[in-house]
Each structure stands twice: as structure tokens, then as C-alpha cells.
């Protein structure tokens, strides 16, 4: 083709050229997004490009003097390393070493910082399948980002337009914050103007004008602030929250030792999401966020009275979290230093300030950001391919658990509106523009932190609420208990702990819990109350008698599938035992996420993080020894959730779940697939590969058998080793996501028990997250949706991810699909 013209395949249709860039402040997960966009684009038959250094790279383009690729030429060394979907192509006989793409393909240049030499003067780069190898697990953005003043001016954007056309690029996926996306929207809105001007100037030909009449742009929100309207979560926010919680958890222990106060400043100029979530997840005593400044002008006194009351209760440490954009109700900036001075002078506390700064941006992305970025990156490509000149540019978002598309400009406008409302001191208005989680969490924080009486329900409506754990431990169970206890006290109820599950109840292992007793529980793994698998029907009469003896008015059961079965047994026995006629609520908590109906159980985020961390280490070892396939065995009972999401987050090549099972035919296909992949690797530069297998995926093809088969069949190409993660998945520190979710859902559970009690009803229900809503599903509905034999839901939302795992592994080719 002529310079800049994409290759025309045999069917005569011009291939779409799709480029991806990252812009603005970096955030963890941007690499995973780039990887997904590149791979999905190639799988869909597009030519994939990356633009280095954000908008800056697009404005600069490829300099004439840079190697042999002058502006307007088809970049060198294309087709890239693997050319298309691996496995669907015979290995390319293009030179694999020496060219930029091949070196980039091994990811060394960008990772080691040696790439600048080869890349100097070149910003718009054609990439192949293997060029994004290993991207998902790396923090920051490997293709670079920059702030670009030129792009703010129309001339700069015109140059960017010219560069896009010169490289024959028809579609652009931009990952960045609201600034970057505003830029994207401007570029698209001005496009007709740009191309007319470029034609007039003679910078482009009439043919180019006709071909590139429309630019397709899709936005991905990469930002640690989580400040974008219309999406519950931005790529990188969860990782930043992890970093903050790691830091605050560490500070907490030393604060407690020395009985100190700490003021911890976190990022967020206009958005208090990080500060709020960190405060909830770490059990902080006080916080300052821009959206909800202290109501009293004399915030100093309000803060001191809250903190003094905590000290009077017996607390040895004081943690205050402050967003960098915090201010009082008159918009006067509140600084960490000011807070420190107040605490030192008025309360006499030995106070230190810690500003977390850039540590919040760093480190490996957590599992959720990898998954979010991967799902959204793949969706961005679909959105590009289905967009028409008439459709407004979309931004990809997520609501609760649904990947969404919405007009980019609306989302940007709404986001900027929040800052405007804060500026105008319309705090209610600002809050209304945040997603529902924000408001819920704000309420939960106040109600579980403050020791005051303002939320008490009338005397006659107060209950003794039993809290019991059932089944295996899961991260977040303790955060749920802590919240239940604090929220009960705040509302005037009596929280009654039942230790050691239903066995403990029968043994009378029951005690009231205090505000201070549970203070540190939120951050702990395991189950402070103790848990086991004994169900109430082991002695229903005894259970009923004990509940009556301890005057329990309603019960909250925290646990997984067992807890749901327990709920069913209790509610089913009501006609026999009057004492069971009370509201019963179940909060799903299990690492395997096998509770039906709900899309997420507490603990299921922690387990994926443990798996992903382990896979990162294993992969490193596998890659160090080059040709090694690790077969990683996960827990998860009859449910393949951990394996599937773990595979998506860690970039595993193959995943085996109990739902799909393993048979001889797929085994042979998988062995052939792995052989093909190793054959395609550059000699001496093979990578390690991962196979993830749920422990119950097959009775015959055990993990050991599988490993042996792979070792045998791999011959000279690869060997194979087994790793079993076992109970490690239950352990560790609960992830902030599980902690905050536990808090949010527990508050709703107690509210529900109150409503039931007030209405003199005795419902039995599970709190579930479904699509974009949180609701209470009656136990009848829960049981109906259960596959009791395999102990999982009949339908599981994540099963559709199998296809994406296969696509990203290079196993399937989508080019012929509509």
C-alpha cells in the first residue's frame, strides 16, 4: 500500500489501525489495559499501535531522522513479532531479533529503561502480540505518559490529527483521567475542522481526507483518585487504596505502641474517595474530605471532642486521615500540619504527620485493577469497532459489577461539575454526583466511629442482635463483625457475639461485645469469633433453646454456602420452634465466591489477590528457568471463580474449572496449544507459562497427573512443575476491597433487621450484590438458585470470562466473528 495505508488482507477490506495511549498521571493497571487493548485489537483483526508519552507523543509523531521510519512511512519491522493471534498463525518468518518490535516484544527495553536509544524520536509504534507480554503485572505505564501543554492548544491537536492520519490510524483508545479524556473529546469534536484545514494546507491528500473522515475515540478511565463520574471505579484506584491501607496498618501498630496520634495525608484534590475508603478499611478515628467538610466552622473543637471520647474509652492510638484537598466549610484549606498542631496543643497528644505522596501511585497492580483494566480494555476495542460517525465517543465504566459504555463528554462534564459544586459550597450537590457507594460509606464511617446517641432507635425497637460465623474463614469476616458491633451500639442495640459457630452457641459460648473490644478487628484476617462447619440441624432444639436463653431477637450469620444452608435450616424449623421466629440475615463471606445469586462474597477479593501475588512469583521463577509450565492448584470447592479470575488477572494460558471439567480432547488441544506457543518463542527467550487448575476440576486428571502429562509431552520444548496454594488463599490481611465491602453490606444488614423487627416480620434473607444493585434475596430464592450437589450457584456471572482468558492467551481467533 501507499505510505500510511494499512495492509489490505485478501478479503479486500482495509484493516482497522487502532492505537492506544496512556496520559496524565500514571496509575496501576494502565499496562493491563494496554495489553488487553493490543491483544484484543489483534484478535479482532486490527493492526495495533501504541503511542508513547501520551498526547505528547502524538503531537511529536515520528521524527524524520528517527531510524528508517520517516513520518508518513509504514513503521519498520511490521508485521510485528507474532503478527497476529498466536496459535492461529504459523510463526512469522520475519527477522525476530534486531528489530525494535522484537526487542520490545520481550519487554526488556521499556522495563530496563534501555529502550530510549532505539526509541528516540519515535512515538507511534506498531506492536505485536508478544510485545505486551508480562504487562499485566507491572505498575505504572510502560509506554510512558506525560503532561502535554501543546495538546491544550488547537494547533497541537491539529498536529496530532496529522500524525494519526500519516500513520493511517483510524481509532484511538485513551487511558487517563478527566483532563486526558477532555483532550480526547476535543480532538474528536474538532476532527472535521482539522482534516479540512489539513487538506487545505496540502498536509494530507484528498484520498487521505476521504479515508480518515471519522476518528473513533474511546476513553478508559485510568486515575488513582476514583473521581470520574459515571463509573464506580477507575483503573488504579483500588491499588492506590491498597498502598494506603498497607501504610496505615503499619503506622497503626507503632501508634498503638507509643500511644501516639498520626495525621496521614492521602491523595485527592477534589475527591475524597481514597481518604474515605482508607478511613473505613483501617478503622481510622477521624477524616477530612473535600465533599463533606466539617459542618461546624470550629472544626477543631468538633474533632477534639470526638477524639477525646475515643481516648476516654481506652484507645491508645489516634489516626486521622486527611485528603490533600480537604477544607473547612468556608473553603479554607485544612492542612495535616494544622491538624497536628490542634492535636498536640489541645489534646496533648504526641502527634506525627505522614504524607504518603507518590507511594500511592507505585507498586504492582492488585488483582481487581488488572481484571478491571483487562475487561475494560477488551470492551474498548469492541466499542471502537462498533462505533459509527453518529455515536458520541464513549468512555468505558463499571457500575457495581457491570462494564458500561456512556458518552465520554457527559461523564467528563459531570466530573468537572463536582469540583464546581464544591467551589460553590454546594456539598450536598457534590455528593449527589458521586456513586451510591460513596454516600453509603460516609454513613457507615460516621455510624461505626462516633460514640454518640444521635442515631439511637426508640427504646421499644432495640434488639439483642446475635452475630455468628459459619463455614471456613474468609477475609473481611472480622470487619463485618466490627461493623455490626459498632453499628448496633450506635443504634442502641446490644451486639451479642456467638463464638465458634453453632457449636459455640450450644455450648453457651456467648458474650456481649464492646465498642473498644472490636476496635482492631477490621484489619485482621481469619475469624476472631471462630468458625466451623457444624450446621444448626445437628441440634435444632438446642439451638432454639439457647437463642431463647440469651434473648436473641435477631441473628446475623456471616459465612459462605454453609451459612446459607444454616439460614435455610433455621427458617425451615420455625414451625417447630417458636424461638426461631426472628429476622435472620446472611452476609455472604467465602473465598470461593460460591454463594448463589450474589456476584461477590466478602473474602473473594482477598483470595484472588493472594493467588495473583503467588502467580507473580511463580511466573518469575518460570520465566527465569525459561521453558517451564507451572500448574497452579487453587482451592475453591466446586466453584471455579478463584481459578477463572486468577487466570484473567495473572495472564494464565490455561484454566481448568469444576464447571467445565477436563477431558481427553481438551487436554490434547491444550498440550498442542502450549507446544505451538513455545515453538513461536524466540530462541533462548522463552517465557514461563501458567496453568491454573481448581482442585475439583477433575477426579481423574489431578494436578499431579496434569503436570506429568505436560512434562512428558513438552519434551524439549518445556518442562512442568506443580504448585499447590492450598489454605494460603484463606489467609493474609483482608484486602481493602473486602473490608470496605464488609462494612457497607453489614450496615445494610443491620438496617434490614431493624426494618423487619419494626414491621413485626421475621424474614430470612441473604444480602446480595447483583448487577448494579444491592438487595435482600429471600432464602427461598437463594435455595432455588443453588446447585446443592456442587455447592455453587446454577448460574455464575464470571463464566463468560473463559472466552476472554482464551482470547488473551492467544487460543482463539475472533477475526471471522461479527
Cross-sheet strand order for the sheet of 351-355:
286-288, 318-323, 261-266, 351-355
Query: 51 or 510: whose CB is closer to ligand ATP?
Result: 51
Is the Cβ of residue 226 or residue 653 nearer to ligand ATP in the bound state?
Answer: 226
Q: Is 435 helix (H, G, I), strand (E, B) or coil?
A: coil
Under the binding rule (CB under 6 A), the answer on residue 148 touching ligand ATP is yes
Q: Say whether 179 counts as a known binding-site residue.
A: yes
Using alpha carbons only, give the angle 658, 659, 664 rounded to the nearest 5 degrees. Answer: 70
For ligand ATP, the closer CB: 89 or 186: 186
Separation of CA 743 from chain center:
18
186 lies in the binding site for ligand ATP (CB under 6 A): yes
What 3-state DSSP class applies to 51?
Answer: strand
Q: Select from 178-186, 241-249, 323-331, 596-604 the region that touches ligand ATP (CB under 6 A).
A: 178-186
Which alpha helices (DSSP H) does 631-715 contain, by range? 641-650, 664-680, 703-714
775 secondary structure, DSSP code: E
* Residue with Cβ nearer ligand ATP (341 or 410): 410
Distance CA 596, CA 768 (A): 9
Please tell me whether residue 179 binds ligand ATP under the rule CB under 6 A: yes
Nearer to ligand ATP, 179 or 588 (CB): 179
Active site residue 225: yes
| Touching ligand ATP, residues 430-489 (CB under 6 A) | none
Rounded Cα distance, 29 and 37, in Å: 12
- Between residue 152 and residue 171, which ones bind ligand ATP under the rule CB under 6 A? 152
Nearest distance from residue 119's CB to ligand ATP, in Å? 20
Q: Please, what is the minimum distance in Å from the beta carbon of residue 30 to ligand ATP?
A: 11
Q: Cα–Cα distance between 48 and 105 in angstroms, integer?
A: 13
Q: 3-state SS of 308-366? A: HHHHHHCCCCEEEEEECCCECCCCCECCHHHHHHHHHHHHCCCEEEEECHHHHHCCCCC
Binding to ligand ATP in span 45-64, by CB under 6 A: 55
DSSP conformation letters of 508-537: T-EEE--TTTTTTGGG--S-SS------GG
Which residue of 29, 176, 230, 646 would you call a contact of ligand ATP, by CB under 6 A? 176
For ligand ATP, the binding residue among 57, 61, 140, 177 (CB under 6 A) is 177
Cα of first residue to Cα of last residue in the chain, in angstroms, is 26
Give kind and range of the element (H or E) at residue 82.
Answer: none
Q: 184: burial class by Cβ within 10 Å (0-12, 13-18, 19+)?
A: buried
Query: What minimum distance in Å lies between the beta carbon of 83 and ligand ATP?
Result: 33
Number of residues forming the site for ligand ATP (CB under 6 A): 18
User: Scanning residues 194 to 253, which ones bind ligand ATP (CB under 6 A)?
Assistant: 223, 225
Alpha-carbon radius of gyration of the chain: 28
Burial status of residue 597 (CB atoms within 10 A of its CB: 0-12, 13-18, 19 or more): buried
Q: Is 658 in the site for ligand ATP (CB under 6 A)?
A: no
Residue 574 CA: distances (Å) to CA of 763, 780, 784: 11, 14, 19
Catalytic: which of 225, 328, 553, 670?
225
* Residue 490, marked binder: no
Q: Does 147 bind ligand ATP (CB under 6 A)?
A: yes
Quote the least distance from Cβ 19 to ligand ATP, whole Å: 16
Interacting positions 13-32 with ligand ATP (CB under 6 A): 23-25
Closer residue to ligand ATP (CB): 395 or 801: 395
- Is 12 marked as binding a ligand? no
* Residue 379 is a binding residue for ligand ATP (CB under 6 A): no
How far apart are the C-alpha atoms of 706 and 712, rounded to whole Å?
Answer: 10
Nearer to ligand ATP, 395 or 768 (CB): 395
Residue 461 Cα to chain centre, angstroms: 39
Is residue 191 part of the contact set for ligand ATP (CB under 6 A)?
Answer: no
Q: Which is nearer to ligand ATP, 23 or 364 (CB)?
A: 23
Part in contact with ligand ATP (CB under 6 A); list of ranges 173-181, 277-285, 644-652, 716-724: 173-181
Residue positions forming the annotated binding site for beta-D-fructose 2,6-bisphosphate: 533, 590-594, 628, 635-637, 695, 721, 791
Residues annotated in a binding site for Mg(2+): 178
Q: Which residues are known to be catalytic?
A: 225
Binding stretches for ligand ATP (CB under 6 A): 23-25, 55, 147-148, 151-152, 176-180, 182-183, 186, 223, 225
Q: Which residues are annotated as part of the binding site?
A: 25, 147-148, 177-180, 223-225, 260, 267-269, 324, 352, 358-361, 533, 590-594, 628, 635-637, 695, 721, 791
Amino acid at each position: 500500500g501507499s505510505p500510511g495505508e494499512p495492509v489490505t488482507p485478501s478479503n479486500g477490506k482495509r484493516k482497522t489501525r487502532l492505537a492506544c495511549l496512556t496520559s496524565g498521571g500514571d496509575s496501576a493497571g494502565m499496562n493491563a489495559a494496554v495489553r488487553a487493548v493490543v491483544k484484543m485489537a489483534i484478535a479482532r483483526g486490527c493492526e495495533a499501535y501504541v503511542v508513547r508519552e501520551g498526547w505528547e507523543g502524538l503531537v511529536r509523531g515520528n521524527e524524520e531522522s528517527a531510524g528508517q521510519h520517516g513520518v508518513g512511512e509504514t513503521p519498520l519491522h511490521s508485521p510485528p513479532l507474532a503478527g497476529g493471534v498466536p496459535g492461529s498463525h504459523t510463526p512469522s518468518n520475519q527477522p525476530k531479533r534486531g528489530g525494535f518490535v522484537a526487542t520490545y516484544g520481550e519487554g526488556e527495553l521499556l522495563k530496563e529503561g534501555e529502550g530510549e536509544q532505539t526509541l528516540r524520536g519515535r512515538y507511534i509504534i506498531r506492536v505485536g502480540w508478544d510485545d505486551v507480554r508480562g504487562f499485566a503485572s507491572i505498575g505504572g505505564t510502560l509506554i510512558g505518559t506525560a503532561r502535554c501543554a501543546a495538546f491544550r492548544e488547537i494547533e497541537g491537536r491539529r498536529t496530532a490529527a496529522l500524525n494519526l492520519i500519516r500513520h493511517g490510524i483510524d481509532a484511538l483508545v485513551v487511558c487517563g483521567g478527566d483532563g486526558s479524556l477532555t483532550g480526547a473529546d476535543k480532538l474528536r469534536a474538532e476532527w472535521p475542522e482539522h482534516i479540512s484545514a489539513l487538506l487545505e494546507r496540502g498536509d494530507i491528500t484528498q484520498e487521505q481526507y476521504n479515508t480518515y473522515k471519522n476518528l473513533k475515540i474511546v476513553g478508559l478511565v485510568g486515575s488513582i483518585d476514583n473521581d470520574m463520574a459515571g463509573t464506580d471505579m477507575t483503573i488504579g484506584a483500588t491499588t492506590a487504596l491498597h498502598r494506603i491501607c498497607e501504610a496505615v496498618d503499619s503506622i497503626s501498630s507503632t501508634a498503638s505502641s507509643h500511644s501516639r496520634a498520626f495525621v496521614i495525608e492521602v491523595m485527592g484534590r477534589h475527591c475524597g474517595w481514597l481518604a474515605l475508603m482508607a478511613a473505613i478499611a483501617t478503622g481510622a478515628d477521624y477524616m477530612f474530605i473535600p465533599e463533606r467538610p466539617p459542618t461546624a466552622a470550629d472544626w477543631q473543637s468538633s474533632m477534639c471532642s470526638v477524639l477525646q471520647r475515643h481516648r476516654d474509652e481506652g484507645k491508645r492510638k489516634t489516626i486521622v486521615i486527611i485528603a490533600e484537598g480537604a477544607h473547612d466549610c468556608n473553603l479554607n484549606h485544612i492542612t495535616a500540619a494544622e491538624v497536628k498542631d490542634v492535636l498536640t496543643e489541645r489534646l496533648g497528644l504526641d502527634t506525627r504527620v505522614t504524607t504518603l505522596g507518590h507511594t500511592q501511585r507505585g507498586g504492582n497492580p492488585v488483582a481487581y485493577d488488572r481484571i478491571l483494566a483487562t475487561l475494560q480494555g477488551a470492551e474498548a476495542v469492541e466499542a471502537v469497532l462498533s462505533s459509527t460517525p453518529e455515536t458520541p465517543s464513549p468512555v468505558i465504566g463499571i457500575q457495581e459489577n457491570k462494564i458500561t459504555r456512556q458518552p465520554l463528554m457527559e461523564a467528563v462534564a459531570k466530573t468537572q461539575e463536582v469540583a464546581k459544586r464544591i467551589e460553590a459550597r454546594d456539598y450536598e450537590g457534590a455528593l449527589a454526583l458521586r456513586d451510591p457507594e460513596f454516600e453509603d460509606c460516609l454513613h457507615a464511617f460516621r455510624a461505626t466511629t462516633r460514640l454518640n446517641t444521635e442515631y439511637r432507635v426508640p427504646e421499644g425497637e432495640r434488639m439483642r442482635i446475635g452475630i455468628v460465623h459459619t463455614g471456613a474463614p474468609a477475609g473481611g469476616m472480622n470487619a463485618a463483625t466490627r461493623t455490626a458491633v459498632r453499628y448496633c451500639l450506635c443504634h442502641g442495640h446490644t451486639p451479642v457475639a456467638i463464638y465458634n459457630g453453632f457449636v459455640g452457641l450450644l455450648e453457651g459460648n456467648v458474650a456481649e461485645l464492646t465498642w473498644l473490644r472490636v476496635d482492631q478487628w477490621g484489619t485482621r484476617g481469619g475469624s476472631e469469633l471462630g468458625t466451623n462447619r457444624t450446621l444448626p440441624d445437628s441440634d435444632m432444639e438446642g439451638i432454639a433453646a439457647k437463642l431463647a436463653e440469651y434473648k436473641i431477637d435477631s441473628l446475623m450469620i456471616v459465612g459462605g454456602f454453609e451459612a446459607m444452608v444454616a439460614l435455610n435450616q433455621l427458617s425451615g424449623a420455625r414451625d417447630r420452634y417458636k424461638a426461631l421466629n426472628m429476622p435472620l440475615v446472611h452476609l455472604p463471606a467465602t473465598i470461593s465466591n460460591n454463594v448463589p445469586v450474589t456476584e461477590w462474597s466478602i473474602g473473594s477479593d482477598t483470595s484472588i489477590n493472594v493467588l495473583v501475588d503467588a502467580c507473580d512469583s511463580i511466573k518469575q521463577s518460570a520465566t527465569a528457568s525459561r521453558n517451564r509450565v507451572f500448574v497452579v492448584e487453587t482451592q475453591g470447592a466446586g466453584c471455579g471463580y478463584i481459578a477463572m479470575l486468577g487466570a484473567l488477572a495473572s495472564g494464565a494460558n490455561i484454566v481448568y474449572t469444576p464447571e467445565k471439567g477436563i477431558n481427553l480432547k481438551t487436554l490434547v488441544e491444550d498440550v498442542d496449544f502450549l507446544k505451538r506457543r513455545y515453538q513461536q518463542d524466540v530462541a533462548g527467550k522463552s517465557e514461563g507459562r501458567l496453568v491454573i487448575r481448581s482442585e475439583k476440576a477433575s477426579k481423574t486428571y489431578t494436578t499431579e497427573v496434569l503436570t506429568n502429562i505436560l512434562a512428558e509431552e513438552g519434551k524439549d520444548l518445556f518442562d512442568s512443575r506443580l504448585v499447590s496454594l492450598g489454605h494460603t488463599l484463606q489467609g493474609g490481611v483482608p484486602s481493602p476491597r473486602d473490608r470496605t465491602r464488609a462494612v457497607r453490606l453489614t450496615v445494610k444488614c443491620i438496617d434490614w433487621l431493624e426494618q423487619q423487627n419494626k414491621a413485626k416480620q421475621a424474614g430470612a434473607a441473604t444480602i446480595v450484590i447483583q448487577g448494579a444493585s444491592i438487595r435482600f434475596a429471600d432464602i427461598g430464592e437463594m435455595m432455588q438458585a443453588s446447585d446443592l450437589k456442587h455447592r455453587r450457584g446454577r448460574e455464575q456471572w464470571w463464566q463468560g470470562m473463559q472466552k476472554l482468558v482464551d482470547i488473551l492467551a492467544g487460543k482463539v481467533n475472533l477475526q471471522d466473528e461479527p
